């Protein structure tokens, strides 16, 4: 092994002045212990360690794992830290040998990180009898009263139900869907899929209900003065009434230009926007 290590380190002479391993202690290790090895590599200017060549974390043997690999830049070199874990279940004190780890520099120079040996020992004598008094006692415990947790759970459930009911009332969901104070919400649900004439009539009835009397185009300003929250839809409402006048009365005035487009207005979208304002979303 020493001969192979010496041959491996020969190419390093031109690139690294020194490989100084700081190995774990050579004895006093048991099953499952982790051992940390630090190796300092001195490099001349311009030389660098190829980190891709470092050993990968793996099971090196059935009794040895490479648990972690870390590097740290130092002035004039680099430090490599290897963490090994011992899984050798010894029946008596036994010396184990950690193998070398081949690496290379960025210029292709190859060398090896030296291994080390350690002595692992059994945790207890193999022939020692097992008796009940060797077992650890049960940890102290106490009963937990589930009452406060149950009360908190019931309170949270009640708050959730109350919140859902309040949200259903505010959004006019079932069973509050038929609430008279939400004519636009009911109209938005009704006119989906209706023919244009019936959809227009349903929206007129919703506007009448919101105004408290029959609402015609001439009274639109009065309606918006009473309900200014709908003012952002003034132009679309005026277009809606203009389309109704053109369709039902066949009016032909200059201000009715574009009535054909008005007749094709997206009534479900207008109803949805009115309903959204009605529910406080805008």
pLDDT at residue 10, rounded to an integer: 42
Residue 74: in which H helix or E strand, if any? strand 64-74
pLDDT over 50 at 163, yes or no: yes
pTM above 0.75, yes or no: no
Q: Where residue 123 falls among pLDDT bands split at 50, 70, 90?
A: confident
Using CA atoms, how far apart are residues 184 and 179, in angstroms rounded to an integer? Answer: 11
Q: What is the mean pLDDT of the chain?
A: 84
User: 2-123 adopts what CATH topology?
Assistant: Immunoglobulin-like (2.60.40)
Q: Judge if the upstream peptide bond of residue 175 is cis by omega within 30 degrees of 0.
A: yes
CB 65 within 8 A of CB 87: yes
Residues 6+ away with beta carbon under 8 Å from 134: none
Query: Which residues pair with residue 58 across a beta bridge?
Result: 66
Indicate where the chain has its CATH 2.60.40 domain(s).
2-123
Give per-residue pLDDT as tens, 195-245. Answer: 888 889 999 999 988 888 999 888 899 999 998 999 999 999 999 999 888
What mean pLDDT do residues 51-80 have? 95
pLDDT at residue 39, rounded to an integer: 96
The Cβ-side half-sphere exposure at 151, using a 13 Å CA radius, reads 4
pLDDT at residue 141, rounded to an integer: 82
Give per-residue pLDDT as tens, 180-191. Answer: 568 888 888 888
């Amino acid at each position: 092994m020493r001969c192979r290590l010496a041959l491996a380190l020969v190419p390093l002479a031109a690139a690294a002045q020194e490989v100084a391993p700081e190995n774990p202690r050579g004895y006093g290790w048991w099953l499952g212990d982790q051992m940390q090895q630090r190796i300092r590599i001195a490099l001349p200017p311009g030389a660098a360690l190829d980190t891709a060549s470092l050993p990968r974390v793996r099971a090196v043997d059935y009794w040895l794992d490479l648990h972690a690999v870390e590097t740290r830049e130092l002035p004039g070199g680099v430090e490599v830290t290897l963490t090994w874990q011992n899984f050798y279940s010894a029946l008596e004190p036994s010396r184990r040998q950690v193998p070398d780890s081949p690496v290379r520099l960025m210029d292709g120079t190859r060398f090896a990180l030296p291994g080390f040996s350690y002595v692992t020992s059994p945790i207890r004598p193999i022939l020692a009898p097992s008796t009940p008094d060797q077992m650890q006692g049960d940890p102290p415990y106490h009963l937990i009263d589930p009452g406060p947790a149950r009360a908190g759970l019931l309170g949270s459930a009640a708050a959730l139900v109350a919140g859902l009911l309040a949200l259903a009332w505010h959004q006019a969901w079932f069973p509050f869907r038929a609430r008279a104070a939400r004519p636009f919400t009911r109209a938005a649900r009704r006119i989906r899929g209706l023919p244009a004439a019936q959809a227009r009539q349903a929206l007129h009835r919703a506007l009448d209900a919101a105004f408290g009397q029959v609402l015609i185009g001439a009274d639109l300003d009065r309606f918006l003065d009473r309900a200014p929250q709908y003012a952002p839809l003034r132009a679309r409402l005026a277009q809606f009434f203009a389309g109704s006048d053109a369709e039902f009365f066949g009016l032909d005035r200059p201000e009715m230009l574009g009535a054909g487009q008005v007749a094709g207005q997206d009534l479900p979208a207008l109803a949805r926007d009115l309903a959204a304002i009605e529910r406080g979303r805008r």
